[in-house]
Amino acid sequence: MCSPPANWFGELKRSVPTAKWGVAAWAIGPLRRSRPTAWYVWLWLRSLPYIGKRFVCPCCGGRFRKFLAYGVRPRPNARCPRCGTRERHRLLWLYLKQETGLFSESLSVLHFAPEFIYYRALRSLPNLFYVTADIDSPLASVALDITHCPFGDETFDVILCSHVLEHVPDDQAATREMYRVLKPDGWAIIHSPVDRSRAETFEDPTVVSAKERERYFGQVDHVRVYGRDYVGRLERAGFTVRADYLGRRLPRVLRTSYAVKKNSPVYLCLKRPTSG
Ligand SMILES: [Zn+2]
């Protein structure tokens, strides 16, 4: 997720060399009080040395000579130095703009764990009734547990939920809730990291320590690793799932410019019409 991490100030502190920390703290101190905006201002300033022409970020509109490396095994040109989006964020943004009516149709949207750069753009669109939700994000307009949503049946036209389910112990309950609050002709984007080398999802509720979760699930706050049965798990809640490979349809020059992956799917989840 590219929303400001809960410990964003700590992350910023670690990113500044110790000798310069006193000056940096003085300079950004006032910004700390408006956390999301301060975070974006910091990223914007940090991006200035990277301005160039080779890469374009479709999310923030920035043009750069390179993107930042990112990942446990750092991938070159992965992270936008301005808005923090990675390959998957940029691909999904392109998909939303090119393949959906999100920017033109009158829609009610429920956005779980809102990514800051999406939030910043979508909240100002006059065609949307835009609701953000999370268990503790400062960007959420509704604080909730995704397995018990305080919304009526068939409330939203669109649900955006990216990289959430791998954190949720009962992901099936969360998926059923998304199916319940989605209108019959609605659509949802439900993304999670998928390990394509695994046939089946691996989860073990006895793995609870941060160290063990990092070892088995790849991140301290993950509770499972999804396998190739990910789509089947979404379908179990009632969704019809289409894996769309927009990256394969993009001309190579654009794919390179946006630094998006060719073979990353966008999971579009459609609600089957209710009978009767
Ligand atoms: Zn960007």
Q: What is the pLDDT along the chain (276 residues), one digit of tens a residue?
A: 444 444 444 443 443 333 343 344 444 444 434 566 777 788 788 899 999 999 999 999 999 999 999 988 899 999 999 988 999 999 999 999 999 999 999 999 999 999 988 998 999 999 999 999 999 888 899 999 999 999 999 999 999 999 999 999 999 999 999 999 999 999 999 999 999 999 999 988 888 888 888 887 888 889 899 999 999 999 999 999 999 999 999 999 999 999 999 999 999 999 875 454
Residue 94 Cα to ligand 1 middle (Å): 12
Residue 208 Cα to ligand 1 middle (Å): 35
Residue 69 Cα to ligand 1 middle (Å): 14
Query: 74: Cβ–Cβ under 8 A, 6 or more apart, which residues?
Result: none
Residue 230 Cα to ligand 1 middle (Å): 28
Residue 123 Cα to ligand 1 middle (Å): 17
Residue 265 Cα to ligand 1 middle (Å): 20
- With 0-12 / 13-18 / 19 or more C-beta atoms within 10 angstroms meaning exposed / middle / buried, residue 228 is middle
Residue 145 Cα to ligand 1 middle (Å): 29
Residue 65 burial (CB count, 10 A): 12
Quick one: CA dihedral 21, 27, 28, 33, positive or negative?
positive
Residue 247 Cα to ligand 1 middle (Å): 18
pLDDT tens-place string over residues 107-166: 999 999 999 889 989 999 999 999 999 998 888 999 999 999 999 999 999 999 999 999
Spatial contact of 115 and 1, defined as CB atoms under 8 Å apart: yes
Residue 24 Cα to ligand 1 middle (Å): 23
Residues in the chain: 276
Give the CA angle between residues 78, 215, 190 to the nearest 5°.
50
Beta bridge partners of 118: none
Beta strands in 3-145 (DSSP E): 51-56, 63-64, 68-70, 75-79, 107-112, 128-134, 142-143
Residue 110 Cα to ligand 1 middle (Å): 23
Selection from 264, 260, 194, 186 nearest residue 222 by Cα: 194
Residue 83 Cα to ligand 1 middle (Å): 4
Beta bridge partners of 159: 110, 188
Residue 219 Cα to ligand 1 middle (Å): 24
Residue 35 Cα to ligand 1 middle (Å): 18
Residue 149 Cα to ligand 1 middle (Å): 31
Residue 141 Cα to ligand 1 middle (Å): 24
Domains of the chain: 8-79 (no CATH), 87-271 (3.40.50.150)
Beta bridge partners of 256: none
Selection from 44, 141, 139, 161 nearest residue 92 by Cα: 161
3-state DSSP assignment of residue 87: helix
